[in-house]
Structure 1
Amino acid sequence: MDESKLHIEDVYKSYDGKVILDDIDLKVSKGEFCSVVGPSGCGKSTLLRLILGQEFPDRGRIAIDGEPVGTPDTHRGIVFQRYSLFPNRTVLDNVLLGKKFQRGQWWNPFHRNQDDIDEAMSFLKKVRLENAADKYPHELSGGMQQRAAIAQALIMKPPVLLMDEPFGALDPDTRDELQVFLLELWEQQELTVFFVTHDLTEACFLGSRLLVLSQYYTDDRGLDAPARGGRIVADYPLPSVANSLEIKDDPAFQRLISDVRNAGFDPRVRQHVSEFNLTHSDSFQTVLPDEYSQGTGIRIR
């Protein structure tokens, strides 16, 4: 029985005849922190939208806790790059919004359930914003706004937390601070995180698992085959403990970044599907016989 938190198999997605995602296979266990990187146009944000339920695949299956993914609901929390806070509501009221929607009270800014307030304050304390509960978003720094957005997502206790370039608009020092903060929160709350970023250093620092999505690969279909969409070309297990920021200067860390860049970002370097670095214990891959019908270790449909 598959007990994975998130299971994706044989997922394809195209727009106007252009293939964006070309047979995505992914299994994520509870408590995993998946960093997702890849070159422009590889389908990172498309994959995130499919998991969120904003869009649906052309083919394939996406399930959370064994149940097919539907439209967006409380099974998936989301934190975007641009802050998702309502400017006319305080930090506390922004965090309470999910609970109000759940109770059908979103339209009433004056209704507050005391149990919900207590819970919201506990999450604001976790993100170190308990003293800013009565402030409005414009009174907060960018880093504080993003911490409030994380609390807004976490209060609904989603089985999977999706993060789409959440620190991309922050200055480098604030970004470093929030990276360490997120790792601490992930360990404390035992979160399952799917984190999309274009920053390889951030991805390698944060993840317990690093997924490289890329359209730069080859298979047995030959050069005349239709344009290939993004595929998971590497799946690295990473240390699952929060590190000091000093690790970013370590030579081994820098070599990992170089390996990741070589695996999926250079259009001149195109691995064959049989050569993908799928070393994580949960990795699996399905391929069509015309893509690759030789070798071992790859499940053929």
Structure 2
Amino acid sequence: MSVTPQATPLITAKNLWKKYGNNTVLERINISVYAGEFITMVGTSGCGKSTFLKMLLGMEEATSGELLLDGKPIPNEPDQSRGIVFQQYSVFPHLTVLENVILAREFEHSPLIGKLFGGKKQKVIDEAKALLESVGLTPSLAKYPHELSGGMKQRLAIAQALIRQPRILLLDEPFGALDPGIRADMHQLILKLWREHNLTVFMVTHDLSEGFYLGTRLWVFDKLRRDPHSPEAYGANITYDLPVTRKKTEVPQEIKAAEIAL
């Protein structure tokens, strides 16, 4: 899917800082992301990638600066516009595959009791079945999470995130625990869903090759300033913002040295 920049960015960060007490995690982040882009994020552990993802979701607030969605401050709690998938499967063990997916829709329509009835219930069931078919889980509708493989659980988690039709999909190392063969299948699946659902994707990964293969832009998070006597004084910035294409298979030399530390 090609991305044609619109007049207004979907996501904008302006001089964004995030601190926890005296610990500066992110500093001076200035970026614009347009609808339909696929942003992959790499960097050493603890450099703020997942913190930035949580700020996009609304789980964390900026210490200073601005993080905007459609030109307005991002709501300080998750909402329907943003879905997230973690490395650890966020599924409910006591519900079947189908029940796991329809639950989000039920609470959206009926927040007090989390139940739907009649025609509304059937409509949500039909939506969930169609989505589960798109992620290859139709044969497993009645199974429970403990009966699924790791790859199937991750497909289920992706379906859970997409059932509410988010504009933005946030992925926090979603494939890190999967075997290489299953990861390759998941790469094809997430690219298929990105195109079909017109998603804007932000994905944290420790795998540079994965980042270059999946993304339309790759961000490298690292510290531009360091104080050996006060390592928490300075935060990470986006030191590289690289446009990439899936036709590339080689990691550029200028960041290849960073791969050892990821």
Do Structure 1 and Structure 2 share a fold, with TM-score over 0.5?
yes
2:159 aligned residue: 151
Distance in structure 1 (CA, Å) of the matches to 2:232 and 2:161? 40
1:92 aligned counterpart, secondary structure: helix
Per-residue CA deviation, residues 3-44 of structure 1 (Å, 9 max, x unaligned), is 111111111011120111011111111110000011122111
Distance in structure 2 (CA, Å) of the matches to 1:129 and 1:122? 10
Matches within 5 A, 1:76-87: 76-87=82-93
In structure 2, give the amino acid aligned to 1:254: E
Picking from 214, 217, 223, the partner of 1:209 is 217
Picking from 47, 60, 66, the partner of 2:65 is 60
In the alignment, is the contact (CA less than 8 A) between 1:11 and 1:21 conserved in 2? Answer: yes
Shift of 1:101: 1.4
In structure 2, give the amino acid aligned to 1:91: V
Picking from 139, 142, 149, the partner of 1:131 is 139
Matches within 5 A, 1:2-17: 3-17=8-22
Shift of 1:193: 0.3
In the alignment, is the contact (CA less than 8 A) between 2:47 and 2:221 conserved in 1? Answer: yes
In structure 2, give the amino acid aligned to 1:253: T
Distance in structure 1 (CA, Å) of the matches to 2:186 and 2:231? 43
TM-score when scaled to structure 2?
A: 0.88
Structure 2: tracts of 5 or more residues without a match: 1-5
Distance in structure 1 (CA, Å) of the matches to 2:105 and 2:162? 11
Per-residue CA deviation, residues 83-111 of structure 1 (Å, 9 max, x unaligned), is 11100001111111211111225745685
Distance in structure 2 (CA, Å) of the matches to 1:9 and 1:264? 28
1:253 aligned residue: 249
Matches within 5 A, 1:25-174: 25-70=30-75, 71-104=77-110, 107-108=113-114, 111=117, 113-174=121-182
In the alignment, is the contact (CA less than 8 A) between 1:37 and 1:198 conserved in 2? Answer: yes
In the alignment, is the contact (CA less than 8 A) between 2:107 and 2:114 conserved in 1? Answer: no
Per-residue CA deviation, residues 135-157 of structure 1 (Å, 9 max, x unaligned), is 11111111111011111111111
Matches within 5 A, 1:210-229: 210-215=218-223, 217-218=224-225, 227-229=233-235
Distance in structure 1 (CA, Å) of the matches to 2:260 and 2:222? 7
TM-score when scaled to structure 1?
A: 0.77
Which deviates further from its counterpart, 22-31 or 65-74?
65-74
Distance in structure 2 (CA, Å) of the matches to 1:45 and 1:206? 18
Shift of 1:255: 3.7
Shift of 1:264: 8.6
In structure 2, give the amino acid aligned to 1:184: K
1:54 aligned counterpart, secondary structure: coil
**Residue 194 (str. 1) matches residue 189 (str. 2):** no
Distance in structure 2 (CA, Å) of the matches to 1:226 and 1:169? 29
Distance in structure 1 (CA, Å) of the matches to 2:214 and 2:112? 34
2:250 aligned counterpart, secondary structure: helix
Say how many residue pairs are matched: 253
1:238 aligned residue: 244
Shift of 1:55: 1.0
1:211 aligned counterpart, secondary structure: strand
In the alignment, is the contact (CA less than 8 A) between 2:38 and 2:214 conserved in 1? Answer: yes
1:149 aligned counterpart, secondary structure: helix
Per-residue CA deviation, residues 102-140 of structure 1 (Å, 9 max, x unaligned), is 122574568571111111111111111122111111111
Cα gap change, 1:148 to 1:100, in 2 (>3 Å): same
Distance in structure 2 (CA, Å) of the matches to 1:106 and 1:96? 15
Shift of 1:187: 1.9
Instruction: Return the structure number with greater relative CO, CA threshold 8 A, min gap 6.
Output: 2
Per-residue CA deviation, residues 45-69 of structure 1 (Å, 9 max, x unaligned), is 1111111111101101112222211
Root-mean-square deviation (Å)? 2.6
In structure 2, give the amino acid aligned to 1:100: E
In structure 1, give the amino acid aligned to 2:220: V
Distance in structure 2 (CA, Å) of the matches to 1:115 and 1:104? 14
Distance in structure 1 (CA, Å) of the matches to 2:51 and 2:161? 20
